[in-house]
Structure 1
Amino acid sequence: MVRTLTADVVVVGGGSTGVGVVRDVAMRGFSAVLVERADLAQGTSGRFHGLLHSGGRYVVSDPESARECAEESAIVARIHADAVERTGGYFVTGPDDDPGFADRFLAGAAASGVPAREIGVAEALRTEPRLNPKIQRAIEVHDGTVDGWQLVWGAANSAKAHGAQILTYHRVTRIESREGRVATVVCTDRKKDEEVRIECGFVLNCAGPWAGQVAAAAGCQPVEVVPGRGIMIAMNHRLVNRVINRCIYPDDGDILVPVHTVSIIGTTDVRADDPDRLAIPRDEVRRMLDAGEILIPGFRQARALHAWAGARPLIKDTRVSASDTRHMSRGMAVIDHSERDGIGGLLTIGGGKLTTYRLMAEHIVDEMCRQLGESRPCTTASEAVPGSEGGRNYAVTHRLGDREADRLDDQILCECELVSRSMFERALNEQPTGSLDDLRRQLRVGMGPCQGGFCSVRAAGVAVDGGHVDATRGSELLGGFLKNRWIGLWPILYGDQVRQTALDNWILRGTLDVDHLPGAEAGAEVAA
Structure 2
Amino acid sequence: MTRSPTVLVVGGGATGAGVARDLARRGIDVALVDRGGLGSGTSGRSHGLLHSGARYAESDPVGAEECIEENHVIREIAGECVRDTGGLFVELAADDPAYFDAKRAACEDVGIPTTVLDAAAVRERVPDIAPDVERAMAVPDGVVYPSRLVAANAAAVEANGGTVHPHAPLEALTVEDGRVLAATIGGRVDATFEPAFVVNAAGAWAGDVAAMAGVDVEMAPARGAMVAVDHGALGPVLNRCREPEDGDIVLPHADEVVLGTTSVPVDDPDEYERADWERARCVEECAAMLPAVADAEVTRTWWGVRPLYAPDEADTDRRGISRGFFALDHADDGVANLASVVGGKLTTYRRMAEATADLVADHLGVDEPSTTADATLPGADDPDRLDAFADRYDARNPSDANLYDAAR
TM-score greater than 0.5 by the shorter chain: yes
Q: Distance in 1 between matches of 2:362 and 2:194?
A: 21
Q: Does 1:211 align with 2:203?
A: no
Is the CA contact 2:118–2:134 (under 8 Å) kept in the aligned structure 1? no
Q: Does 1:48 align with 2:46?
A: yes
Could you say if the C-alpha distance between residues 212 and 442 of structure 1 is closer, same or farther in structure 2, counting changes exceeding 3 Å?
A: closer
Question: Which residue pairs with 1:77 in the alignment?
Answer: 75
Could you say if the C-alpha distance between residues 284 and 442 of structure 1 is closer, same or farther in structure 2, counting changes exceeding 3 Å?
A: closer
Q: Distance in 2 between matches of 1:169 and 1:13?
A: 11
Is the CA contact 1:102–1:137 (under 8 Å) kept in the aligned structure 2? no
Question: Which residue pairs with 1:185 in the alignment?
Answer: 183
Is the CA contact 1:279–1:309 (under 8 Å) kept in the aligned structure 2? no
Is the CA contact 1:88–1:243 (under 8 Å) kept in the aligned structure 2? yes
Cα deviations by residue, 1:407-434 (Å, 9 ceiling, x for unpaired) = xxxxxxxxxxxxxxx999x789957xx6
Question: Which residue pairs with 1:337 in the alignment?
Answer: 330
Question: Which residue pairs with 1:155 in the alignment?
Answer: 153
Letter aligned with residue 73 of structure 1? N
Q: Distance in 2 between matches of 1:73 and 1:445?
A: 23
Letter aligned with residue 206 of structure 1? A
Q: Distance in 2 between matches of 1:33 and 1:179?
A: 24
Q: Does 1:92 align with 2:116?
A: no
Q: Distance in 1 between matches of 2:119 and 2:391?
A: 51
Question: Which residue pairs with 2:366 in the alignment?
Answer: 374
Question: Which residue pairs with 2:280 in the alignment?
Answer: 286
Question: Which residue pairs with 2:55 in the alignment?
Answer: 57
Q: How does 1:320-331 map to 2 (within 5 A)?
A: 320-331=313-324
Could you say if the C-alpha distance between residues 18 and 44 of structure 1 is closer, same or farther in structure 2, counting changes exceeding 3 Å?
A: same
Is the CA contact 1:130–1:239 (under 8 Å) kept in the aligned structure 2? no
Cα deviations by residue, 1:108-167 (Å, 9 ceiling, x for unpaired) = 101222111212221111111011121112100000001011100011001110011001
Question: Which residue pairs with 1:483 in the alignment?
Answer: none
Is the CA contact 2:46–2:399 (under 8 Å) kept in the aligned structure 1? no
| 1:308, distance to aligned residue in structure 2 (A) | 0.8
Could you say if the C-alpha distance between residues 314 and 97 of structure 1 is closer, same or farther in structure 2, counting changes exceeding 3 Å?
A: same
Q: How does 1:395-474 map to 2 (within 5 A)?
A: 430=392, 444=401, 448=405
| 1:60, distance to aligned residue in structure 2 (A) | 1.8
Could you say if the C-alpha distance between residues 129 and 442 of structure 1 is closer, same or farther in structure 2, counting changes exceeding 3 Å?
A: closer
Q: Distance in 1 between matches of 2:122 and 2:402?
A: 34
Q: Distance in 1 between matches of 2:120 and 2:404?
A: 35
Question: Which residue pairs with 2:342 in the alignment?
Answer: 350
Letter aligned with residue 198 of structure 1? F
Could you say if the C-alpha distance between residues 82 and 325 of structure 1 is closer, same or farther in structure 2, counting changes exceeding 3 Å?
A: same
Question: Which residue pairs with 2:302 in the alignment?
Answer: 308
Is the CA contact 1:278–1:309 (under 8 Å) kept in the aligned structure 2? no
**1:369 is paired with a residue of what secondary structure?**
helix
Q: Distance in 1 between matches of 2:245 and 2:75?
A: 26
Is the CA contact 1:13–1:208 (under 8 Å) kept in the aligned structure 2? yes
**2:307 is paired with a residue of what secondary structure?**
strand
Could you say if the C-alpha distance between residues 441 and 296 of structure 1 is closer, same or farther in structure 2, counting changes exceeding 3 Å?
A: closer
Could you say if the C-alpha distance between residues 209 and 442 of structure 1 is closer, same or farther in structure 2, counting changes exceeding 3 Å?
A: closer
Is the CA contact 2:44–2:399 (under 8 Å) kept in the aligned structure 1? no
| 1:447, distance to aligned residue in structure 2 (A) | 6.8
Instruction: Decide which structure has the larger Cα Rg and report it.
Output: 1
Cα deviations by residue, 1:346-398 (Å, 9 ceiling, x for unpaired) = 0001000110000000011111222333321000000111112x5x8x8xxxx
Is the CA contact 2:254–2:403 (under 8 Å) kept in the aligned structure 1? no
Matching residue within 188, 194, 209 for 1:199: 194
Q: Does 1:386 align with 2:378?
A: yes
C-alpha RMSD of matched pairs (Å) = 2.4
Q: Which moved more, 1:202-211 or 1:369-378?
A: 369-378
Letter aligned with residue 328 of structure 2? I
Could you say if the C-alpha distance between residues 14 and 100 of structure 1 is closer, same or farther in structure 2, counting changes exceeding 3 Å?
A: same
Question: Which residue pairs with 1:256 in the alignment?
Answer: 250
**2:327 is paired with a residue of what secondary structure?**
strand
Letter aligned with residue 368 of structure 2? R
Q: Distance in 1 between matches of 2:17 and 2:356?
A: 13
Letter aligned with residue 211 of structure 1? A
Query: Which runs of 5 or more structure 2 residues have no equivalent in the other structure?
Result: none
Is the CA contact 2:45–2:303 (under 8 Å) kept in the aligned structure 1? yes
**2:169 is paired with a residue of what secondary structure?**
strand
Letter aligned with residue 159 of structure 1? V
Could you say if the C-alpha distance between residues 363 and 296 of structure 1 is closer, same or farther in structure 2, counting changes exceeding 3 Å?
A: same
Q: Distance in 1 between matches of 2:205 and 2:100?
A: 37
Matching residue within 243, 247, 253 for 2:237: 243
Could you say if the C-alpha distance between residues 307 and 176 of structure 1 is closer, same or farther in structure 2, counting changes exceeding 3 Å?
A: same
Question: Which residue pairs with 1:126 in the alignment?
Answer: 124
Question: Which residue pairs with 1:475 in the alignment?
Answer: none
Q: Distance in 2 between matches of 1:439 and 1:294?
A: 31
Q: Distance in 1 between matches of 2:386 and 2:114?
A: 40
Could you say if the C-alpha distance between residues 203 and 302 of structure 1 is closer, same or farther in structure 2, counting changes exceeding 3 Å?
A: same
Is the CA contact 2:44–2:396 (under 8 Å) kept in the aligned structure 1? no
Is the CA contact 2:197–2:337 (under 8 Å) kept in the aligned structure 1? yes
Higher relative contact order (CA 8 A, sep 6+): 2
Is the CA contact 2:44–2:397 (under 8 Å) kept in the aligned structure 1? no
Is the CA contact 1:280–1:307 (under 8 Å) kept in the aligned structure 2? no
Cα deviations by residue, 1:171-211 (Å, 9 ceiling, x for unpaired) = 1111123432222111112x4xx731111100010000000
Q: Distance in 2 between matches of 1:366 and 1:103?
A: 38
TM score, norm. by length of structure 2: 0.94
Letter aligned with residue 84 of structure 1? V
Letter aligned with residue 384 of structure 1? T
